Amino acid sequence: MIIRLRKNGPIVVDGDDVQVVDWNGSAYRIARRPVALCRCGASSTKPFCDGTHRTVGFVAPPATEPPDGSTP
Ligand code: FES
């Protein structure tokens, strides 16, 4: 599994066995993969991203810097 933070966008979780469950342990239906989870708080399909981050102008915190100082 790989978890990627898109620049000014969702958290994308890539993996065939990824499940998203609520606080009761009930699984959400996964409509498409990879799974994109809302990071901006504006999605109308939370916990999934619906693309609204683009229209609300979501700006994510700066990217982390690699430990060796190289550019990713
Ligand atoms: S990150 Fe896409 S709608 Fe929130």
C-beta separation of 13 from 34 below 8 A: yes
Question: Which residue among 12, 45, 46, 52 has the greatest number of ligand 1 atoms within 8 angstroms of its CB, and so is best to mutate?
Answer: 52
Q: To the nearest whole number, what is the mean pLDDT of the chain? A: 93
Domains along the chain with CATH numbers: 1-21+30-61 (3.40.5.90)
Asked if residue 71 has pLDDT above 70, the reply is: no
pLDDT tens per residue across span 21-54: 999 999 999 989 999 999 999 999 999 999 999 9
Q: Is the CB of 46 under 6 A from ligand 1?
A: no
pLDDT above 70 covers what percent of the chain? 96
Query: Could you identify the residue written with the tokens 């799974």?
Result: 35
Distance from residue 34's CA to the centre of ligand 1 (Å): 14
Query: Given strand 11-14, what is the order of strands in its sheet?
Result: 2-5, 11-14, 35-37
Please tell me if the CB atom of residue 54 comes closer than 6 angstroms to any atom of ligand 1: no
Q: What is the dihedral of CA 25, 6, 46, 58, to 10 degrees?
A: 150
Percent of the chain with pLDDT over 90: 79
pTM: 0.87
Antiparallel, parallel or unpaired: β 2-5 and 35-37 = unpaired
Q: In this structure, what DSSP letter does residue 53 have?
A: H
Q: Quote the tokens at residue 45.
A: 């399909």
